[in-house]
Structure 1
């Protein structure tokens, strides 16, 4: 077992810096609007959910078989769709007549406030920093154990996972500034 601390640090650093690749997408935004913000956040969330499900589904297929795993997957989708339909949403309860004007009678804008968007981006950044700490530990540990292929594999998986995280953090903060 050959421990190479330098190589482990390099892989961990590269995997962590891949969040910046997702953040670079914000540099290409020409016109800021809420639909573009929503689209990018939806894409980043979708990619993260897809990666999580494919990893979990692969393990489930190995454990219980292809048919049972796929049935459970699609039953889960139906259950969450039913929950979304049955649980009332707070935005549906608000009356449009009560909330269209401020105290001075001026028409309110329907867009979220910039401070709320910025605060959301900062909270996402804090959550991702906490989330990335164990990723760094596992990437470093896998690379430092001497199994180069395992270290590289985990570093690539973490790097691919971190790109949509960079989008999720940078776009709301850019949009709010």
Structure 2
């Protein structure tokens, strides 16, 4: 039976998911030939993704696993998940290069793939995050509201990591906006899937491992793709400074509403 609390929780999760479109929209106010903005946006996104991975996603996953399996075993499984996520991403990249290695690609193609890789990593993260927010709402909607605000704050800069590379590579605002929106909608989708199915099959260990894998994917994408690509368009010092600013923004957003 669908109760008022279920509808409120889902509505809150949907609003949070739609916030991904806001960051995407903001990036379109900058001229497409502004290479400095592209560089700083990419490194800013890297800072966001690295910080949120190490300070929120990985610790949350590790805590979930340790709560079920104990500190010693949980720590090792969390580390395997984290580095497994990195190896998985590296393997996928190698496979792509093998099948696509005989063709010359310009920066536009590279940027487009970069945006898609960021989209996949963030989408995988958004599904359990949406379920977590929805579950918190079911328990107590007053607890879920500050969590939702915090997620909205960090959804906006995360969406830049998706929309900016796609927009700069294709010039298509609609495509960049659509990808960001679809990734955002993974949060309410996670809530629906969790409510209908996953609560029966998934547990804290599964979610914990998923979180650690996602953290590994996001750190790898940041170090292997976002930062190096950023430094092609701008002085590497400015690129690093922008990444640090991204970390500060994420730190403040998580500090305002700790979740």
1:116 is aligned to 2:116 = no
Unaligned runs of 5+ in 1: 60-111
With normalisation by structure 2, the TM-score equals 0.42
Q: Which has the higher contact order (CA 8 A, sep 6+)?
A: 1
Matches within 5 A, 1:32-111: 32-50=33-51
Aligned to 2:163: 170
Figure out how many residues of one structure are paired with residues of the other and give that number. 122
Once residues 113 and 53 of structure 2 are traced to their aligned partners in structure 1, the CA distance between those partners, rounded to angstroms, is 26
Structure 2: state its 5+ residue gaps: 61-105, 171-259
**Residue 157 of structure 1 aligns with which residue?**
150
Cα shift at 1:38: 1.3
Question: In the superposition, relative to structure 1, how do residues 52 and 120 fare at CA in structure 2: closer, same or farther (>3 Å)?
Answer: closer
Asked whether the equivalents of residues 40 and 167 of structure 1 are also in contact (C-alpha less than 8 Å), the reply is yes
- Matched with 2:23 is 22
Partner of 2:123: 129
TM-score, normalisation: structure 1: 0.60
CA distance in 1, matches of 2:32, 2:169: 13
C-alpha spacing 1:52/1:156, structure 2 compared with 1 (3 Å): farther
Q: In angstroms, what is the RMSD of aligned CA positions?
A: 2.5
In our comparison, the structure showing a higher alpha carbon Rg is 1
Between Structure 1 and Structure 2, the one with more helix by share is 2
